[in-house]
Amino acid sequence: AHGDLEIDAHRHLCLVAAQEVALTASEFALLKVLMAKPDNVMTRQQLTVSMYGNNIHVSDRTIDSHIRNIRNKLTKAGCSNSIITVHGVGLRMGTCQTG
Which pLDDT tens digit goes with each residue over 75-99?
999 988 889 999 999 999 988 877 6
* pLDDT at 23 (0 to 100): 96
* pLDDT for residue 60: 67
Task: List, in sequence order, the alpha helices (H) in 1-99.
Answer: 25-36, 44-52, 60-76
Distance between CA 62 and CA 11 in Å, rounded? 25
- CA–CA gap between residue 96 and residue 60 (Å, rounded): 24
pLDDT at 63: 87
Cα–Cα distance measured from residue 14 to residue 46, given in angstroms and rounded to the nearest whole number:
22
How many CB atoms within 10 Å of residue 40? Answer: 12
Question: What is the C-alpha separation between 95 and 9, in angstroms, rounded?
Answer: 20
Give pTM, 2 decimals.
0.88
The pLDDT tens digits of the residues spanning 18-68 come to 899 999 999 999 999 999 998 999 998 888 888 887 766 777 688 889 999
| Confidence at residue 66, expressed as pLDDT on a 0 to 100 scale | 93
